[in-house]
Structures are given as C-alpha cells and as structure tokens.
Amino acid sequence: MSDAAADPFMIDAGSSEPPYRQLHDGVVRAITDGRLLPGEKLPTVRGLAERLGLAANTVASAYRALESSGIIEGRGRSGTFVSLGEDPVAAAARGIVIDAVERLRGLGVTGDRAVQLFTDAVRGSRGD
C-alpha cells in the first residue's frame, strides 16, 4: 500500500489538482473506505499545514469545504472530527440530492423527468 493510500493527509506536488482538493478528496476516500471513522479526530489545521509544507489557509480551505458538506465537524477548542452518526459521505451526498430535487421542483421538473436528468448526469460524468 502506498503512503498516499495509507495516509489521507498526503498531497502530490506533481498533481494538476490543487492541494486543498487533494486533501478534501483524500479525507472523503478515507471515510468511504473506513480508514477514518465517525467521531475520529483530524489533525489541526496548523499542524497538518506544517507537516505537509502548505499554507494553513490551504488546509483550512479543505476543512471548510468538508465541513460545509457535513462530512466533518468543528467542535471549537476540542478540534475537528469526522461527523458522527450515519456515513458522513452518504449524508452529504443525500443533502446534495435533496437540494437538487428542490431546485428542480422550482423549475417545474418532477417525477420521471427528474430521475432521467439525474441518470443522464451521472452517466455523463463517469467518463466512460
């Protein structure tokens, strides 16, 4: 197993993806595959930035995006943790779908037409 696969808090300096996106996606993958568990404490922004040689704002951007999706939660001085309860990635994805459904309803798109639009979007974004 490579270091990047074992440690979700790694970045590839040669990647075309910005470091904050690599951190974000690494945490999501680690939660999805069970390397990070609900309630698990994440490294501090400052500590992770120092460890990776990044600006603290870069790490903070990744954490903010994860928190706004409900995947992680800040608990003040106690730190930042993987969200408790159900699978945080599934919960965040469900929130996105619910928001999209509400927006489609606002456009008058419902039922089978909405399902078809979702299906087409998923198939079109897979890249196969």
For the chain, give every domain's residue range.
3-82, 88-125
Query: What whole-number distance in Å separates Cα of residue 25 and Cα of residue 125?
Result: 17
Q: What is the pTM of this model?
A: 0.67
> Is 81 strand, coil or helix?
strand
Q: pLDDT tens-digit profile of 10-42?
A: 999 999 999 999 999 999 999 888 899 888 999
Q: Which CATH number fits domain 3-82: 3.10.20.600, 3.40.50.1100, 1.10.10.10, 1.10.3210.10?
A: 1.10.10.10
**Average pLDDT for the chain:** 86
Query: Which residue type, as a one-letter code, is found at position 99?
Result: D
